Chain A
Amino acid sequence: MNWSHVFWQVPYKVCMDGWNGLGNFLYKTVFGFVFERSWKILWPALGETIYMTVLSTLLSYIIGIALGVLLVVTRKGGIKPMPKFNMALGTVINFLRSIPFIILLVMLLNVTLAVTGRMTGTMTISFPLTISAFPYVARMVEGSLMEVDGGVIEAAKAMGSTTWQIIWKVLLPEATPSLINGFSICMTTILGYTTMASVAAGGGLGATAVTYGLSYRQYDIMYAASIMLVVLVQVITVAGTSLSRKKDHRIR
């Protein structure tokens, strides 16, 4: 199956054979395509991509939310100001954030080996992915929490809330719509990172696209993998936006 043919064949078939011919063409293409050899490559790759993305996103959110909360709580004028700690934490996060993933991947090879027992593979790649993504997540969470109206936090304080109660019952619930949006943005970013996982034989759609497109010159697989990535990003973004809107009670 050559994808480039699809684009010019559709108008061609319509002109030559009318709509029946188009139906016949699409029938053959779609059903023939699903059982074609290419799909045997693409389906597992899609699974690997989803696996890496979801696992890394969840792991980086566990660390990132905690750090994001710490950043907001300890900042000057925060709920529990600790300016020196805040500055140290911010510096470390910025430092980690500024290392490109591909370099971090190589830098961390030995650490990855020590932690996961392997250097390559889909599961293993989630470790450097998480390390690379959590500072980004932390800043994202920080941004979401900073959007919470200071007056509401003040009111919670005035009612005699402890710091924990403010975090759990005010800060996080009030920021939920924004946190959901941030989550989908981080997920798509991590999805982008997974394409670089091919370097460490992480597999996935990105690796498939690079391997087949670059090494075997099988452009149809490259295009198919890319289209799947595009669809995946769309699904994550749309789901994130609609869930965020649904959870946002500030919208009448």
Chain B
Amino acid sequence: MSEEKPILEEAGAETPLIEIKNLRKVYQVPGGEVVALDGIDLSINRGQIYGIIGMSGAGKSTLIRCLNRLDTPTDGQILIDGQNILTMNNKQLMAMRRKVSMIFQSFNLLMQKTVARNVRYPLEIAGVPKAKANERVKELLKLVELEGKADAYPIQLSGGQRQRVAIARALASDPEVLLCDEATSALDPMTTQSILALLQDINKRLGITVVLITHEMAVIRQICSRVAILDGGRIAEEGTVDDVFVHTRSAAGKRLFGILPSEEEDAVSDVPALRIVFEGGKEGMPIIAGLVKNCGVDVNILSADIKPINGQPYGQMIIESPDDPDVRIQVVRYLTDQGLTVKEVRQG
């Protein structure tokens, strides 16, 4: 497992910036009610990139929208910097929303305004003098690498560029928190990478706490330090990304990741086979070559599903089991000596 500390941990010193206590959200629908959030408890530290992942309908969108009160929770508490945002009056709410910015899946830019005017909008509504605001807009566009596009209209930009404008706009009010509501879900993989890199950069350079929701585990794996798995309006699992990905305990997590098959639903094979489980720390180790060399067997790989998490391999490989019981024992011993978990695969 990675020994790297989450970003800014030294500076933020583990103080929770956002605390969610027993949050409930119930929607009234004709003929009953829908429980979107069912008692959420979370605490998000300053300077973290916190990921919330779940299937559609798990309540993740509702949860993130409660954090700036776009949705009003039915019950519970949300403390941001120690202040309960659910008891705020209108004026306090406006001030809070300038400290808690948000970006969206569909970017939500003002289509009739130029890029510069879009980024200037938060400054305009806060009453920042024009000259000062324009200066800040220039800085922000430079930060998101869109200096040349100041006078373009959003329609002339690509999806990734639009999201960059949205990010610049979200940063204009000097926020402490950036909420990302499926911010990369409408983008292609390459663009997603660049937006994630930008978010990470913002987190590192400006020390802004990032809370993002997504249904893509790749996003979480790439930039988050902590993750919560949401399922049916409850937190199924919460912890550091390394921990949650490797030791996935909840059914929801297993469904989402599919990294390691759970014990009860063991892999099935037509021929006698062995399952080798990689749990990190075997980086660059030539297991198969070693097997061939040390045990003198021809290794037939039936399937392999190994993914790097923080540079460590995680996953499993299924190889055909040698017919000779002595050789089999030798193979298992060799692999176990290498620190790998080996199991016989159930025959289907």
Contacts and interface: CB of A to CB of B under 8 A. Distances in A.
Contacts of B153: 249-250
A155 B125 contact: no
A158 to B, nearest CB: 4
B94 interface: yes
Interface string A133-158: 00000000000000001011011111
B225 interface: no
A159 B97 contact: yes
A124 to B, nearest CB: 39
B112 A250 contact: yes
Interface string B67-100: 0101000000000000000000000011111100
B156 interface: yes
Interface centre among B97, B106, B111, B173 (most CB of A within 10 A): B111
Contact of B106 (A151, A165, A173): A151
B112 A160 contact: no
A161 interface: yes
Given A159-B121, A159-B173, A160-B125, A176 B102 contact: no
B110 A174 contact: yes
Given A160-B173, A169-B121, A249-B155, A154 B113 contact: no
Contacts of B139: none
Interface in A218-236: none
B109 A158 contact: no
B261 to A, nearest CB: 39
Contact of A249 (B111, B121, B169): B111
Contact of B156 (A155, A157, A177, A252): A252
Nearest to A172: B112
B104 A151 contact: yes
A161 to B, nearest CB: 5
Contacts of A177: 112
B111 A161 contact: no
Contacts of A154: 70, 104, 108
Which has the most chain B C-beta neighbours within 10 Å: A159, A169, A173, A248? A159
A121 B137 CA distance: 56
B121 A160 contact: no
Given A159-B173, A169-B124, A152 B108 contact: yes
A249 B68 contact: no
B97 A173 contact: no
* Size class of the B contact interface (CB-based, 8 Å): 20 to 34
B209 interface: no
B174 to A, nearest CB: 12
Contacts of A249: 111-113, 153, 155
A162 interface: yes
Contact of B108 (A155, A169, A176, A248): A155
B203 interface: no
A114 interface: no
Contacts of A252: 155-156
B112 A173 contact: yes
Interface in A197-252: 247-252
Given A152-B109, A152-B110, A158 B97 contact: yes
Nearest to A152: B108
Interface in B159-182: 166, 169-170, 173
Contacts of A176: 112
Contacts of B156: 252
Contacts of A96: none
Nearest to B95: A160
Given A169-B124, A173-B112, A158 B155 contact: no
Contacts of A251: 155
Contacts of B155: 249-252
Nearest to A252: B155
Interface in B288-304: none
B112 A159 contact: no
A152 B169 CA distance: 13
B97 A160 contact: yes
Query: Can you list the 8 inter-chain pairs with the closest CB atoms, starting with the nearest?
Result: A160-B97, A155-B108, A151-B108, A249-B153, A160-B94, A158-B102, A160-B98, A159-B122
Given A158-B101, A159-B97, A159-B173, 11 more contacts: A149-B108, A151-B104, A155-B104, A158-B97, A160-B126, A160-B173, A165-B125, A173-B113, A174-B110, A174-B111, A252-B156
21 contacts: A149-B108, A149-B111, A151-B106, A151-B108, A152-B108, A152-B109, A154-B108, A158-B68, A158-B97, A158-B101, A160-B93, A160-B94, A160-B126, A161-B125, A162-B125, A173-B110, A174-B110, A177-B112, A247-B112, A249-B113, A250-B112
